[in-house]
Amino acid sequence: MKRDKVQDFYFHKAKRESFSARSVYKLQNIQEKYKLLSAGNKVLDLGASPGSWCEYVCDILKKKGCLVALDIKPLSHFAHEKIKNSGVDFQFLHQSVFDPLPAGLPIFDSIISDMAPSTSGNRMVDCQNSLELISGAFEIASQHLKEGGHLIVKIFQSQETVDASKTWGKSFKSSKLYRPPAFQKD
């Protein structure tokens, strides 16, 4: 089941503010509430396409940090140009979250992920596929996130994903489930 493009308040706001996608406001909501990203950070964006989270992170890093983006799909041309013009040290990895990261990457201050599986319309299947992606993100974080670093992931909420987040949360000083105001409702 293919979902129609949501053209709501956040869609139009993203267009007005020159972001590649409405999803940028989920990260902005999280940043405004928790202040997890800072200028000079090293950030890994998992599932980065089309690139709006990368665009937002570039504004925060202010040419001082580095950003590595990973996805099986390319960034939009618009996002790629905006990131290039930001002056942030940037690298794009065209690969799956389940593939090993290349050698030589830094230890990251924050790993962010707006990854979502291709949805089937079956909530149980979609939640299970989301859980697999989050498992990949957690595995990357266990190897590439600095102690005291931040992991931000999107989950399709089910009892299994909530239980898994509680288990993974034990690896961090603090763990929270948060539904940002920009969350897209079904």
User: Could you tell me which residues come within 8 angstroms of residue 6 by beta carbon, excluding any fewer than 6 positions away?
Assistant: 22, 184
Cα atoms in the 13 Å half-sphere on the side-chain side of 109: 14
Q: Which of 5, 35, 154, 173 is catalytic?
A: 154
Task: Please give the full DSSP string across 48-75, using - where no structure is assigned.
Answer: -TT-HHHHHHHHHHTTSSEEEEEESSPP
Distances (CA, A) of 80 to 58, 77, 128, 174, 175: 11, 5, 31, 33, 32
Hey, which bits of the chain come out as E strands? 42-46, 66-71, 89-94, 108-113, 145-153
Check if 73 is active-site.
no
Quick one: which of 79, 84, 76, 54 has its CA closest to 67?
54
Active site residues: 154
